[in-house]
Amino acid sequence: LEYWGPINTDFSNSFLAVAKDFLGRSSLGKVDQKKVFTAFIELIQNISEYYELAFKNDSCPDDSYLNLKYREGRVEVRAANKLKAKDVEQLTKLFDEIFNLSHSDLDLARAKAIVKGKSLGLIMIRRMKNAYFNYSIQQIGEDNWLLFDLRIAA
């Protein structure tokens, strides 16, 4: 399941319905389907929410990327979206903080986020068992891109 194009709230709701059907047709068990679908929701929501905030006075960028694959007992999710240059430093700092936490520190960060009412999405994905999850921010041409790579052994 692959998509290049603009991502906003209306689109994400439709795409999530297709993704849920796609996962339901796989040989994944119900628990693994739910785990993958929850992570996929988080990644799509991150893109659509960022676009709605960062580009609220501009049109949403036309090129974002989503890819959901299931093969040989493994699920792969890739997501990419453009970033405004002014956001790169702040987002790099935020993601470095989350992605450099040990597993025991992730539990503490989760508890702190719950108390403060903050989002648990990326922390939750990082805590998944049998999963590889990473990010990068790259400049490609004149554009800055945020890329997420999630692989889950089912």
Splitting the chain (154 residues) into consecutive groups of 10 residues, what average pLDDT does each group show? 84 87 88 90 87 76 86 89 93 91 86 76 87 93 94 86
pLDDT at 108: 86
Cβ atoms 128, 77 nearer than 8 A:
no
Q: Are 65 and 79 in contact (CB under 8 A)?
A: yes
Which residues, in sequence order, are CB contacts of 65 under 8 Å at separation 6+?
2, 3, 4, 78, 79, 80, 81
Cα distances (angstroms) measured from residue 101 to each of 95, 104, 120, 127: 10, 8, 14, 10
Can you give the pTM of this predicted structure?
0.86
pLDDT for the residue numbered 60: 65
* Contact between 81 and 7 (Cβ < 8 Å): yes
